[in-house]
């Protein structure tokens, strides 16, 4: 059975892009976004849980996030988890609702976030290139075993490179869009 599978390479590259999108959703622009709290883990009921498993998170205004905690006994542990997540937020408790007013981003902070976007994008590109390399190695092994002719190997190599270029261009577009979003005042 050949080790080379272009669909597997595509799936793995798409997975790297999904991870990038998730990382980007956690980077705050000037507007409130419920995904900003995605990395927050809460110690409740004797286990570590995601915030979304204990509450409803909404963004009713451009710079406000509301967290409706379902069980009133968990309000304080949710607040503690938000503080410990080190997101620079100051939650305010009002009954079972935790409100977070997002501060205005300074120009310096916007530039820092733009650098973070570039770093995440570069990590995603490295992941895509590693998948490309795995594919090329599998293709080469299969070709040496006689599974592919030289012409087929060149054709498949070209397909892998085209897929890689397509995915790195998508990463560039996502990074550019997120950077523009962050730098918008």
Q: DSSP letter for 55, please.
A: E
37-51 average pLDDT score: 85
- Are 21 and 8 a contacting pair, CB within 8 Å? no
What is the pLDDT, as a whole number, of residue 141?
A: 87
Please give the structure tokens belonging to residue 14: 């798409």
Same domain, 47 and 65: yes
For the ranges 12-16, 43-47, 120-124, the lowest mean pLDDT is seen at 43-47
**Domain final position from 70, 101, 132:** 101
Q: Does the pTM of the predicted model rise above 0.85?
A: no
Give the model's confidence band at 14: pLDDT under 50 very low, under 70 low, under 90 confident, else very high. Answer: very high
Give the model's confidence band at 142: pLDDT under 50 very low, under 70 low, under 90 confident, else very high. Answer: confident
What is the pLDDT, as a whole number, of residue 28?
A: 67
Alpha-carbon span 171 to 15, nearest angstrom: 12
Does residue 1 belong to any structural domain of this protein?
no
Does residue 177 belong to any structural domain of this protein?
yes
State the sign of the Cα–Cα–Cα–Cα dihedral 98, 88, 54, 38.
positive
13 vs 35, residue with greater confidence: 13
Does residue 58 belong to any structural domain of this protein?
yes
**Domain final position from 101, 120, 142:** 101
| DSSP bridge pairs for 1 | none
What is the pLDDT, as a whole number, of residue 2?
A: 52
């Amino acid at each position: 059975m050949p080790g080379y599978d272009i669909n597997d390479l595509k799936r793995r590259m798409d997975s790297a892009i999904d991870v990038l999108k998730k990382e980007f959703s956690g980077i705050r622009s000037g507007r409130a976004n419920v995904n900003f709290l995605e990395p927050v883990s809460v110690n409740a009921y004797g286990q570590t849980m995601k915030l979304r498993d204990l509450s409803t998170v909404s963004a009713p205004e451009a710079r406000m996030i509301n967290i409706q905690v379902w069980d009133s006994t968990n309000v304080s542990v949710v607040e503690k988890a938000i503080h410990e997540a080190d997101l620079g937020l100051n939650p305010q408790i009002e009954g079972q609702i935790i409100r977070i007013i997002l501060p205005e981003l300074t120009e310096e902070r916007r530039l820092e976030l733009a650098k973070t976007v570039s770093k995440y994008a570069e990590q995603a590109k490295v992941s895509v290139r590693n998948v490309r390399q795995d594919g090329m190695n599998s293709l080469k092994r299969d070709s040496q075993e006689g599974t592919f002719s030289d012409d087929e190997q060149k054709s498949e190599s070209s397909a892998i490179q085209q897929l890689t270029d397509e995915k790195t261009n998508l990463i560039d577009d996502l990074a550019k869009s997120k950077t523009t979003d962050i730098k918008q005042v």
